[in-house]
Structure 1
């Protein structure tokens, strides 16, 4: 059964069930083969198999089955690590954070790429900065509530979770975590922005972002960010918004932050479950908020000057 599932997954296109919701998975696989539709990446196939394996591990633990039939079922990822998405270069980061929206623009709507006197600080200003200094995923940031930025053990943190109503999307169980605000975000005035939104009666931190048909707040922002990179000459085929996350992890490594803390703070797990941490290792391990803050406070980008963004 599991090998059969792996075979079907290997031929499925990306977002297949969203693009053709009326077809079964087998029908989707057959359609893809017949029409030559490119299949999803090996990394995505392995991620689905990881989730299936996790379910069977639970079943073994509960003594519902005797062994995990999905154990070890993976496909080779032939895309070289160096050819996958990469961190932003220092040159790219300088171009991004010296663009008109960070230096003075006409407005943060259609005039975001035109130099001007306006310095609006809303979603398009804050989301890239939060990603740079926290490593949070794009949708994690876009769906934040004002209540998700609060003090925990006396330290201001992003509380990344599904919310009381379960109305937020997280990639993995390990994604639920605390991320202390980096001192640079505090110097730039993020706490004041959060207070402004609260005084305005906004539940969501970025109320101008709208929900798409799949329950995500990041879709339109993602498309805008791709245009933004082009507008400031920072576009590259191997970088995208997720590159902030890679840059942040590199910065943690440069700061010599303990590996377990890195995994916990980023919500990272090992793609194959070996050589990395499990969910139990990366979440709920008991790191104090102070320890997390001390780690993130060491993150820096020495060749990047952002003093013009401080209040």
Structure 2
């Protein structure tokens, strides 16, 4: 009313109030409620609501996570993440918005993994992960993945979701705590080789004389094996190194440091190649060469490789499909154990590492030095912060420790005579 008079007088007025006054007059004349007239119309979404995106997909988030430059992963870890990604996207759906992943979604993935056949992508390449799991559940003759592998799948998926929380793509991790209870004690997953197994391994024709280094390695003959078939097992037993760490060694990784012959276990190559990987940061280390290996003329073998121009110490091992020489050796070593009657449940090449740890305990080697020699992590805490100071143990200290590693009752004197 007042705004109308101001308008008629040529004065400034508020258009909104004028419209409100006009509407009030209209309501009064018609006797209808303005609220009622508005509510009678169907509610229409605003343009902003219509354009609101569903959010990044699981596939997009996975790619951002794996490409994150703040995280450093070795080739094997990346391979494991990629394997997990294929299964996760197969079950949940690559195009599923990450915000739509619920606890129920994660439980469904967990249940599918429980019945997933071993190597399903190779054996059942024509089946989806869900269909392969249904087969594994219905046919008990189908071997399914063990609890350790299942939990590894879930742990890697959970790390993705933790990252998504940190990056504020989602509010919480719906997979938290989804792990299958382990029924096997960690110490029972792998066992060290027994004395009898070690005796049979190093008394096999490979070490005493075989027909040849190919198919005749298990038959007695005049040939003493060389290269990987001779030295890799000995290095594993006397250094505690992981199989892949040994198989990927460059010739240049055998160095004299402060007068001590050492294995330099590293991802870096002096030639600039990037074909090595380590399990974790603690894996990078120097390990003095055990005196028994020195007496077995290991350094002469290294020098021959150097003179020949070889870059890889064990270039007699072929590269696997994923670029790891350890794959070929692992398969051969499994057959070798059977041929030497040295196979037993819960033992494999990794049993050398378990045996090394026991030998270090029995030699009363200081725990911190053992962790350095084996490339084991020290665990979080104040001690880990303190470990960041200084350059580490002198090679002589490490040599004096590793020289104490012995396996009572194991006679290797026949190797010294060859």
The answer to whether the 8 A contact 1:85-1:243 is kept is yes
Where structure 2 has 5 or more consecutive residues not aligned to the other structure, the ranges are: 1-100
1:227 deviates by: 2.0
Which residue of 1 is the match for residue 403 of structure 2? 297
Which residue of 1 is the match for residue 351 of structure 2? 243
Equivalent residues in 2 for 1:1-311, closer than 5 Å: 4=106, 9-15=113-119, 33=137, 37-48=142-153, 74-81=179-186, 83-164=188-269, 165-269=273-377, 277-278=379-380, 281=384, 286-290=391-395, 291-310=397-416
CA-to-aligned-CA distance 1:254-297 (integer Å, 9 cap, x gap)? 1122223323322234xxxxxx6259949867431433222212
Report SS of the residue matched to 1:159. strand
Task: Specify whether residues 30 and 94 from structure 1 end up closer, same or farther in structure 2 by C-alpha distance, changes over 3 A only.
Answer: same
Single out whichever of 160-169 and 84-93 deviates more from structure 2.
160-169
Alpha-carbon distance between aligned partners in 2 of 1:116 and 1:126, rounded to the nearest angstrom: 19
What is the TM-score normalised by the length of structure 1?
0.81
Task: Specify whether residues 73 and 147 from structure 1 end up closer, same or farther in structure 2 by C-alpha distance, changes over 3 A only.
Answer: farther
Report SS of the residue matched to 1:179. strand
1:51 deviates by: 5.3
1:235 deviates by: 1.5
Single out whichever of 192-201 and 31-40 deviates more from structure 2.
31-40
Which residue of 2 is the match for residue 272 of structure 1? none
The answer to whether the 8 A contact 1:146-1:194 is kept is yes
1:62 deviates by: 9.4
Alpha-carbon distance between aligned partners in 2 of 1:154 and 1:47, rounded to the nearest angstrom: 42
Alpha-carbon distance between aligned partners in 2 of 1:154 and 1:64, rounded to the nearest angstrom: 54
- Alignment: residue pair count: 305
The answer to whether the 8 A contact 1:135-1:248 is kept is yes
1:132 deviates by: 0.6
Report SS of the residue matched to 2:261. strand
Alpha-carbon distance between aligned partners in 1 of 2:177 and 2:288, rounded to the nearest angstrom: 36
Single out whichever of 66-75 and 166-175 deviates more from structure 2.
66-75
Where structure 1 has 5 or more consecutive residues not aligned to the other structure, the ranges are: 270-275
Structure possessing the higher relative contact order (Cα contacts under 8 Å, 6 or more residues apart): 1
1:237 deviates by: 2.5
Alpha-carbon distance between aligned partners in 2 of 1:2 and 1:300, rounded to the nearest angstrom: 53
Which is higher, the Rg of structure 1 or of structure 2? 2
Which residue of 1 is the match for residue 32 of structure 2? none
What's the RMSD between the two structures over aligned residues?
3.5
